[in-house]
Chains A and B, each alone.
Chain A
Amino acid sequence: MDYKDYYETLGLKRTATQDEIKSTYRKLARKFHPDVNHEKGAEDKFKALGEAYEVLKDPEKRAAYDQLGANWQEGQNFRPPPEWDSGFEYSGAGAGAADEGAYSDFFENLFGRARAAGAGGQQRSRQEFHATGQDHHAKITIDLRDAFEGATRSISLRSPEVDASGHVQLKERTIKVKIPKGITQGQHIRLAGQGNPGVGRGQAGDLYLEIYFHEDPVFSVDGRDVYFDLPIAPWEAALGAKVKAPTPTGVVGLTVPKSAHTGQKLRLKGRGIPGKPAGDLYAVLQIVLPPAKTDKDRAFYEQMEREMDFNPRAKLGVK
């Protein structure tokens, strides 16, 4: 297994005081908390911070960790010396059940025993015990099109389970889910009985899936309303035009009004994500300038310059 440099994780010297460890952890935890920081890697960093803090905040665990020596490098292949922790006793039970399986092999090997023994003890209890399994929450990312048409998607779920010897392991399973038409970002789908298994004769918990959309290169979504940019030529904007526009489910004809301007929104009522009520689809106009590539193109622009009374900077008071 790989050695974990918990001081490096927190960016601290080995001589750091308990107060420094606490305040540094808190500062970094706020920065990398996955509900606050949605950048890639934030969740892994947050877990690593939690593991480092779990050890360093506890003077007993920290002392045991420190006596492994300061010469190890992060990621170096590591095997604990025999009876490495003799003389140390851990009074803390470690992290709560919800976080089981979140720690590295390194942590589990050195500090995980107390927890495993505790969990196993519960399992071996002879008293009959029934309880409903915990509900499980997961995110599922779908295409915008799926919200318009409905879809079937497979998802992989990892949930911690306690095996016969009392060790917590992450078990992976795949389920297929029907995504109903009209679903939108932030909504939840409940799958009864697909959460964590119950204990004894207790029922399994439910699985809640929170819906997210993949980023779409063309469309963006606000509730059930859908927006996209529609490029138009200057003469289409000035004179009005009938143009073709994409929608998540096919092409539609649109009338651009006379004197249209950039940023103007054309609404197609009820053509957003289906539902009660259905959302609207908005084409946001973007006037695109034709490049003056040929002599003829330039002649056109020169003619406009001569013949049109137009100052684009009138509002700025300059010409």
Chain B
Amino acid sequence: MENRSSEALPGEVIEMVTLTQLCQSCGVQTDWVVELVNEGVLEPQGPDPKRWQFSAVSITRVRVAWHLQRDLGVNQAGIALALNLLEEREALRQQLQRFGRSVPGSIVDADGF
């Protein structure tokens, strides 16, 4: 394995993955991913499972979904809810970061009159 490390490896940016690639990459069963699609957690393009194309973000979603089920016993509906809330929280965190940067707040006690 050492000889792998000598030169820089060209990375392939993933735009879309098939159902088979998605399942293999995340180490999960096909049926389980189909259930996630039915639950609306993933929205592949294409008419039927054989021709489904998933955006690369689906890899992250499937992995988080799997961890939530394996580690916390969350079911599919719970996973859908948790993922939505987690993504909403992340978006808010980023907004807050942008906003917080522009308002360097310091508190001064004011004299009321």
**Which residues of A are at the interface with B, using a C-beta cutoff of 8 A?**
26, 29-30, 33-36, 46, 50, 98, 134-135, 137, 152, 173-180, 182-183, 186-192, 194, 197, 206, 208-210, 215, 220, 222, 227, 229, 263, 284, 286
Instruction: Among A34, A178, A227, A263, point to the contact of B9 (Cβ < 8 A).
Output: A178
Check if B72 is an interface residue, CB within 8 A of chain A. yes
B101→A229 contact, CB < 8 A: yes
B72→A30 contact, CB < 8 A: yes
Within 8 A of A (CB), among B52-102: 56-57, 59-60, 63-64, 67-68, 71-73, 82, 86, 94, 97-98, 101-102
Q: Which A residues lie within 8 Å of B59 (CB)?
A: 137, 188, 208, 210
Chain A residue nearest to B97 (CB atoms) is A220
Complex CA distance for A190 and B13, rounded to whole angstroms: 6
Chain B residue nearest to A285 (CB atoms) is B102
Check if B105 is an interface residue, CB within 8 A of chain A. no
| A173 and B86 contact, Cβ closer than 8 Å, known pairs A29-B71, A179-B11, A190-B14 | no
Complex CA distance for A210 and B26, rounded to whole angstroms: 13
A33→B71 contact, CB < 8 A: yes
Among B8, B24, B82, which residue has the most Cβ atoms of chain A within 10 A?
B8
A190: min CB distance to chain B, Å: 5
Complex CA distance for A89 and B8, rounded to whole angstroms: 50
Q: Which A residues lie within 8 Å of B57 (CB)?
A: 186
A131: min CB distance to chain B, Å: 12
Q: Which A residues lie within 8 Å of B7 (CB)?
A: 176
B13→A33 contact, CB < 8 A: no
Complex CA distance for A206 and B11, rounded to whole angstroms: 11
Check if B5 is an interface residue, CB within 8 A of chain A. yes
B9→A210 contact, CB < 8 A: no
| A189 and B101 contact, Cβ closer than 8 Å, known pairs A137-B63, A175-B5, A208-B25 | no
B60→A220 contact, CB < 8 A: no
A29→B13 contact, CB < 8 A: no
The number of residues on chain B lying at the interface, defined by a beta carbon within 8 Å of a beta carbon of chain A, is: 34
B9→A187 contact, CB < 8 A: no
| A206 and B71 contact, Cβ closer than 8 Å, known pairs A191-B9, A220-B98 | no
A120: min CB distance to chain B, Å: 21
Q: Which A residues lie within 8 Å of B4 (CB)?
A: 173, 175, 194
Complex CA distance for A219 and B2, rounded to whole angstroms: 38
Complex CA distance for A175 and B4, rounded to whole angstroms: 7
Chain B residue nearest to A195 (CB atoms) is B25
Q: Which A residues lie within 8 Å of B26 (CB)?
A: 135, 137
B68→A188 contact, CB < 8 A: no
B16: min CB distance to chain A, Å: 11
Q: Which A residues lie within 8 Å of B86 (CB)?
A: 35-36
A176→B5 contact, CB < 8 A: yes
Q: Which A residues lie within 8 Å of B13 (CB)?
A: 180, 182-183, 187-189
Complex CA distance for A194 and B4, rounded to whole angstroms: 8
A190→B72 contact, CB < 8 A: no
| A187 and B56 contact, Cβ closer than 8 Å, known pairs A29-B71, A33-B72, A286-B102 | yes
A39: min CB distance to chain B, Å: 12
Complex CA distance for A288 and B19, rounded to whole angstroms: 53
Chain A residue nearest to B25 (CB atoms) is A135
Q: Which B residues lie within 8 Å of A183 (CB)?
A: 13
A177→B102 contact, CB < 8 A: no
The 4 tightest CB contacts between A and B, nearest first, are A189-B11, A176-B8, A152-B8, A188-B14
B43: min CB distance to chain A, Å: 16
